[in-house]
Structure 1
Amino acid sequence: MLLTAKSRVAPYSGGLLLASVIAVAATFLSDHYGAPVMLFALLLGMAFHFLSEDNSCAVGVDFAAKALLRFGVGLLGLRLGLAEVMSLGLTPVIAIIGFVLVTFGCGVVMARIFGRRTAFGMLAGGSVAICGASAALAITSVLPLHKDREQDTLFVVIGVTALSTIAMIAYPVLFKSLGLSDIESGFLIGATIHDVAQVVGAGYSISEEAGVFATYVKILRVALLPVVMLVVMFSFRGAQQQAVGVPWFLLMFAACAVVANAGVLPPAILALLNELSRWCLVIAIAALGVKTSLANMVKVKPSYSIILVVETLVLLSVALAFVMVFGI
């Protein structure tokens, strides 16, 4: 039985060890030089991209960038103060629904302007509106079969990943230059950056408060994924009939928030779990950096790039306008 367990763990060990060492190095640099640990983890990880397809590292790196990330995000619910969330009312929820609708519609309109299929517009719009590459993969699973579907999905995944990485670095600087508070910045980061990993990285590069609130807002967007998938599914005849479920880390986030705010966990256990969450996220961001290829970022077709960039700028502009007019 021990040998069986070792054989199951072995494929993951190399990649997890690589991501963990990068995370430790990023933490050391952050502690000594004051820069955001998530940014260090991302940049250091990118320097080791050549190992992303190495047989000894690929599986573990992929596991860290996906499963470990989602587990860490789920644990972030322990840091969410429900009293603070309730004090914000329904404003963030209504705003996020509006942002998603505008961005999704923008994708469809831009696709038609550039002579692309409506299916591509929904794929691009949904990925930018919800959660980047993860949403793209989920949405494509309910699109009708087409010879270009896999290629379209690949370009969208590459494009939104590139834009998310750029936004993770640029948005905190932009929001700080505009004089926005940590809560406002956290809201905007959660509402505008595509992938969950980059939302976490950007939020925590500002402050812990911004990071937690950004994650909460991002969770609101992710919660709309099943709705978008249903809209896509019923918009096309011949679409694959696939069961649409709620992401498990969303449920974990909500459950952790309830448990933490119920006061049933001893402070020592709560502190330990929060530290575990932090390390999971730093390791996941390091793994994401290892998986990030600068070469792939420049392979996106011009028309695809324009559509994704316009959607991203529309989402950012609408969210910024909302915060400037109504506040948070």
Structure 2
Amino acid sequence: MTTNETIQAYAPGLFLATMIACSAKWIEGLLPEGIISASVLALFIGMLLHTIRKPDPEYQKGIAFSSKKLLKFAIILLGASLNISTIMQVGRMSLFIMVFTLTTCFGVGYFVGKAFHLNWKMSNLISAGTGICGGSAIAAIAPVIEAEDRDIAFAMSATFIFDMVMIVVFPLLGTWLGMSDTAYGLWAGTAVNDTSSVVAAGYTFSERAGDFAVMVKLTRTLAIIPTVLIFSAIQFHSAHKAADTDLKNGKITAIIPYFILLFLCMAGLNSLGFIPEAIASGMKHLSKFCMVTALAAIGLNTSLRDMRKGGAGPMLHGFIISLLVVLVAYVAIQMQQA
């Protein structure tokens, strides 16, 4: 296939996904900050279009490229926005709380997923989205475990719905409980999922609480690094026959996918100060847009009718885990301050 033929094959689907991403970003800009992210909007717009009319075959190559390859590229660029030294800025306080919340998400989440008969990939995507950083964590882990588009859509939807409730409820609860700015910022930063929702819930309480909540959220985002490595190992063992062959041939990508290696390299370079702040900021924005485009493509591959057939299990899973994280984080903060 020539270069022109390749472009013609991929262009229609890639263009459609990009247009949906642009529309989602535009709609996000019209709404109050933190109400709903462009990623979720793009996913839902894509699913709506698929439900109205499934994309023609000529769009499929570009859609597949956007949902798989472009998503991996977005994860690589995401590494440039992660700075491991952020942990030192926030201190041990938030890390102590995160140990409890992440243990709750993945520990209790495993049994909740079993109870609702969810496949392990969907269950862990919901747990990762709840425990780490919403859509970014889901997007980072999904290609590592080779999750289906439907699993990603369910996980995104489950975490999004709870976030919408938390934006309104969290500031009210913080005031009712008489929490300090620091305690509330720590609570919101560890218990609310998506970054935009953390910003909305944090700054609604106070500017100081919002600043601290964002710092805690940045530290929490760093949990993506060990999590993707752990799930890479899990995926390696689940496909041990092919992996064993690659391992004997000396291929480290049999255990850690190439895009995760590049993601870790980017995070390391940024942490060491080799990436200028302006470039890191630009790469972060490009990463976010690529991620929105990828989620638009995932939506175009997902039918709302099929999701309805999946039942309420994924949504209940997300609700139970999110509620437990809120309670566990609050109790851990009280223990720490006692």
TM-score (norm 2): 0.63
Per the TM alignment, residue 35 of structure 1 is displaced from its structure 2 partner at its CA by 4.9
1:160 lines up with 2:161 in the alignment? no
Q: 2:84 & 2:91 partners in 1: Cα distance?
A: 11
C-alpha spacing 1:161/1:87, structure 2 compared with 1 (3 Å):
closer
1:295 lines up with 2:305 in the alignment? yes
Partner of 1:224 in structure 2? 227
Q: 1:266 & 1:225 partners in 2: Cα distance?
A: 26
Partner of 1:281 in structure 2? 291
Partner of 2:240 in structure 1? 241
Match of 1:58 among 56, 60, 67: 60
Per the TM alignment, residue 17 of structure 1 is displaced from its structure 2 partner at its CA by 0.8
Give matches, 1:238-277, under 5 Å. Answer: 241=240, 243=243, 245-266=255-276, 269-277=279-287
5+ residue gaps, structure 1, are 142-152, 194-198
TM-score (norm 1): 0.64
C-alpha spacing 1:62/1:214, structure 2 compared with 1 (3 Å):
farther
Farther-moved stretch of structure 1 (225-234 vs 72-81): 225-234
Give the paired residue count: 298
Partner of 1:144 in structure 2? none
- Deviation per CA, 1:273-322: give whole Å up to 9, x if none: 34423432332343344445332332125667655653454344434544
Give matches, 1:1-328, under 5 Å. Answer: 4-32=2-30, 34-35=32-33, 38=38, 40-49=41-50, 50=52, 53-90=55-92, 92-93=94-95, 95-107=97-109, 109-110=111-112, 126-130=124-128, 159-167=154-162, 169-178=164-173, 185-189=188-192, 193=193, 199=194, 214=217, 217-221=220-224, 223-227=226-230, 241=240, 243=243, 245-266=255-276, 269-301=279-311, 306=316, 309-322=319-332, 326=336
Q: Determine if contact 1:42/1:286 at 8 Å carries over to the other structure.
A: yes
- What SS does structure 2 have at the residue aligned with 1:246? coil
Per the TM alignment, residue 253 of structure 1 is displaced from its structure 2 partner at its CA by 4.0
C-alpha spacing 1:139/1:62, structure 2 compared with 1 (3 Å):
closer
- Deviation per CA, 1:166-187: give whole Å up to 9, x if none: 2454444444554586775444
Return the letter of the residue paired with 2:223: L
Q: Determine if contact 2:108/2:321 at 8 Å carries over to the other structure.
A: yes
Per the TM alignment, residue 31 of structure 1 is displaced from its structure 2 partner at its CA by 4.0
5+ residue gaps, structure 2, are 129-136, 175-180, 204-209, 244-253
Q: Determine if contact 1:44/1:286 at 8 Å carries over to the other structure.
A: yes
Q: 1:96 & 1:121 partners in 2: Cα distance?
A: 25
Return the letter of the residue paired with 2:161: I
Return the letter of the residue paired with 2:63: V
Q: Determine if contact 2:158/2:315 at 8 Å carries over to the other structure.
A: no
Q: 1:162 & 1:84 partners in 2: Cα distance?
A: 29
Return the letter of the residue paired with 2:226: A
Q: 2:59 & 2:326 partners in 1: Cα distance?
A: 36
- What SS does structure 2 have at the residue aligned with 1:71? helix
Q: Determine what percentage of the aligned residue pairs are the same residue.
A: 22
C-alpha spacing 1:266/1:302, structure 2 compared with 1 (3 Å):
closer
Q: Determine if contact 2:80/2:269 at 8 Å carries over to the other structure.
A: yes
Per the TM alignment, residue 55 of structure 1 is displaced from its structure 2 partner at its CA by 1.7
Q: 2:43 & 2:150 partners in 1: Cα distance?
A: 22
